[in-house]
Amino acid sequence: MCNPRAFQRAFTQPPLPLTATDLANLFTPTLSPVGSNRRRLENRTIAHWRDWLLEVEEGNMDHVQVEDVLVFCSGASRVPLSGFPEPPMLDFFLGTDSNSLPLANTCSVTLRLPLHSNYADFSRAMQLAVACSGVFGCA
């Protein structure tokens, strides 16, 4: 190996804890055209998403930690050193009611967030989806 110091952190030190900012910056949002009503809702939902991640990091969400959110979105408990094969994406959809839950595609690392107009509904939906995802596939 020509430069062992380049790999020292990867092989000898524990990974740094995942933060809300790390997770928020990991995803690239797919947004509607500027000035559209849908874009306004998407921007509001992004603000809800970032606020919710901060609450998770601060320990204000029962049974949900930042790593759990990454597992929900990607199936991985930490970001791979070389990154994900495809850039993680943040998509949006119009829910049918105030109980619309977020959806995740772990193969493409895509998180689809429902467009909730208020933070309380968004937070409730996110917490339910992430907290219950650990039992998916278990009978």
φ and ψ of 60, to 5 deg: -85, -5
d(CA 42, CA 112): 11
CA 17 to chain centre: 15
Q: Is the dihedral of CA 115, 120, 123, 125 positive or negative?
A: negative
Residue tagged active-site, from 2, 73, 107, 132: 107
To the query of whether residue 107 is one of the catalytic residues in this protein, the response is yes
- pLDDT score recorded for residue 54: 97
Name all domains of the chain by residue range, CATH numbers in brackets. Answer: 17-133 (3.30.2410.10)
Low-confidence ranges of the chain (pLDDT < 50): 137-139
- pLDDT score recorded for residue 126: 94
- 46 CB-near residues (< 8 Å, 6+ apart): 29, 90
d(CA 16, CA 13): 9
Give the pTM: 0.85
